[in-house]
């Protein structure tokens, strides 16, 4: 089973989404046993997605969540609220949030815990910068990001198969530069081995970073690449579905 999750980032409008949702239901009418298709949208459009996608072959989710359960946290959105809108997934610790909004490994771990508590399936992102790759620090950086999650989670660190990890090298996000299948597989294999040490045998590991219809097949053919987190190519239904067909 491959898991393909669209990440619209801060894109969309009621009218544009309406067309996208209508289109995907028409072109992807029935669930496929070998593919899980989902889209993570900005908060204000969750109700629209829920109304359109309920009972369809496409699941939905959010792109961020508060680490707190409720209360005086102006502007924040809790995991329970996301569950209220039928979210199955939530992206946690995307590199844009880590670098632009200052999210730390510790905060990402708290968000992961909050998502799990609400019954959501968190997609937690890890990945290195170009400078870190050039300095041959990929395993160090990704290992640190994973270890921080495990260290900060209170009960069962990774509930097997419940958490999804997305490997997104920062230099490949939105740049049109994709990691080669071999480059990506090497890191996925490393992540898989790290997770195994914590008893996690079936954590799906998605690749993200300029995935498109042209490069998806070779990436998804790798043994430890279980799907994709897709930004730019998810904004158009046809390019998103072309990845699913690949």
Question: Which residues are part of the catalytic machinery?
Answer: 94, 168
The number of residues that bind ligand PGA (CB under 6 A) is 13
63: three-class secondary structure by DSSP: coil
Q: Which of residues 6-25 bind ligand PGA (CB under 6 A)?
A: 7
Residue 146 contacts residue 194 (beta carbons within 8 Å): yes
CA atoms within 13 A on the CB side of 53: 29
Query: In the complex, which residue's CB is closest to ligand PGA?
Result: 231
Rank residues 95 and 157 by Cβ distance to ligand PGA and give the closer one. Answer: 95
Nearer to ligand PGA, 127 or 157 (CB): 127
Taking CA atoms, 156 is separated from 25, 91, 105, 120, in Å, by: 37, 20, 18, 15
- Select the residue interacting with ligand PGA from 160, 174, 180, 196 (CB under 6 A): 174
Nearer Cβ to ligand PGA (21/230): 230
Give the number of other Cβ atoms within 10 Å of residue 13's Cβ.
Answer: 10
Q: Is residue 168 near ligand PGA by the rule CB under 6 A?
A: yes
Q: Which two tokens stand for residue 58?
A: 């496409």
Q: What minimum distance in Å lies between the beta carbon of 231 and ligand PGA?
A: 2
Rg (CA), the chain: 17
Q: Does 244 bind ligand PGA (CB under 6 A)?
A: no
No. of helices (H) and no. of strands (E), the chain: 10, 8
Is 8 within 8 Å of 39 (Cβ atoms)? yes
230 part of the interface to ligand PGA, by CB under 6 A: yes
Burial status of residue 8 (CB atoms within 10 A of its CB: 0-12, 13-18, 19 or more): buried
Tell me if residue 37 falls in helix, strand or coil.
strand
Q: How far is the CB of 214 from ligand PGA (least distance, A)?
A: 13
Residue 127 engages ligand PGA in binding (rule: CB under 6 A): no
CB of 160 to ligand PGA, least distance (A): 24
Q: State the nearest-atom distance from the C-beta of 162 to ligand PGA, in Å.
A: 20
The CA distance from 74 to 81, in Å, is 14
Kindly state whether residue 173 participates in binding ligand PGA, applying the rule CB under 6 A: yes
CB of 206 to ligand PGA, least distance (A): 9
Among 229, 226, 225, smallest CA distance to 212 is for 229
Q: Tell which positions 196-215 bind ligand PGA, by CB under 6 A.
A: 208-211
The residue among 103 and 168 lying less far from ligand PGA, judged by its C-beta, is 168
Site residues for ligand PGA per CB under 6 A: 7, 168, 173-174, 208-211, 229-233
């Amino acid at each position: 089973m491959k898991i393909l999750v669209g990440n619209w980032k801060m894109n969309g409008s009621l009218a544009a989404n309406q067309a996208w949702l209508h289109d995907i239901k028409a072109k992807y009418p029935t669930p496929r046993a070998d593919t899980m298709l989902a889209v993570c949208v900005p908060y204000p459009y969750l109700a629209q997605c829920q109304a359109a996608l309920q009972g369809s072959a496409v699941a939905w989710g959010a792109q961020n969540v508060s680490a707190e359960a409720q209360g005086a946290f102006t502007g924040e959105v809790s995991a329970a609220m996301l569950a209220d809108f039928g979210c199955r997934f939530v992206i946690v610790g995307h590199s844009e949030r880590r670098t632009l909004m200052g999210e730390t490994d510790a905060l990402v771990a708290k968000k992961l815990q909050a998502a799990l508590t609400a019954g959501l399936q968190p997609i937690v992102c890890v990945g290195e910068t170009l400078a870190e790759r050039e300095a041959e620090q990929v395993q160090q950086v990704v290992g640190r990001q994973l270890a921080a999650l495990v260290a900060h989670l209170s009960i069962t660190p990774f509930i097997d198969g419940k958490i999804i990890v997305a490997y997104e090298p920062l230099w490949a996000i939105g740049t049109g530069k994709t990691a080669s299948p071999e480059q990506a597989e090497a890191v996925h294999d490393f992540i898989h081995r790290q997770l195994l040490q914590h008893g996690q045998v079936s954590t799906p590991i998605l690749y993200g970073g300029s995935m498109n219809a042209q490069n998806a097949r070779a990436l998804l053919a790798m043994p430890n690449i279980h799907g994709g987190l897709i930004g730019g190519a998810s904004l158009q239904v046809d390019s998103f579905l072309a990845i699913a067909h690949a």
